[in-house]
Amino acid sequence: MSEHGGHPMADLADAERRWHEWIADACRAVDVDPSDVDVPGIHDLTKEIAHGFARPMAPVGSFILGLAIGARSAQGRPADPEALARAIRETFPGAAAAAGAGGGGVNRRRGAARSSARSSATSAP
């Protein structure tokens, strides 16, 4: 049971419905397509920033990702959110050492794709 007396899954479904309604409203307010909002991807990035670097920087990292995507779109360039998120993850202190050691840290599962992601994500003028 949840703190509100309902079934936990029903409460989660209701919360997610409210979240998606808010996302649609917020997107309409700033003229953005709600289908461009990758909630799981944003959650993953913010979680990794919070646990792999510093909790207060989690929303800042998401904002930086949004700026990068918007800048590329405004320039008529393709924006690969996954590659950009990988490039942000690579900036965590110790990320290069963890990648070189072949383990540890939040970058472990990102593997070899990181170097190609960084080159495509950082080719901005």
Q: Which domain holds residue 33?
A: 1-37
Say which residues have a Cβ less than 8 Å from residue 68's Cβ, sequence separation at least 6: 79, 84, 121, 124
Q: 83 and 106, same structural domain?
A: yes
Helices 39-52 and 58-74 pack at an angle, to 10 degrees, of 130
Supply the pTM of this predicted model: 0.68
Q: 30 and 44, same structural domain?
A: no
Token pair recorded at residue 76 = 């008529």
Q: 50 and 13, same structural domain?
A: no
- Taking only the tens place, the pLDDT of each residue in 11-47 is 999 999 999 999 999 999 999 999 999 999 999 999 9
Q: How confident is the model at residue 114 (pLDDT cuts 50, 70, 90)?
A: very low
- Taking only the tens place, the pLDDT of each residue in 89-100 is 999 998 776 666
* Statement: residue 53 has pLDDT above 60: yes
pLDDT of 104 = 43
pLDDT of 7 = 74
Give the range among 1-5, 61-65, 117-121 with minimum mean pLDDT. Answer: 117-121
When divided into structural domains, the chain yields a total of 2
Q: Cβ distance 36 to 45 under 8 Å?
A: no
Q: 50 and 28, same structural domain?
A: no
**Could you give the percent of the chain with pLDDT greater than 70?**
71
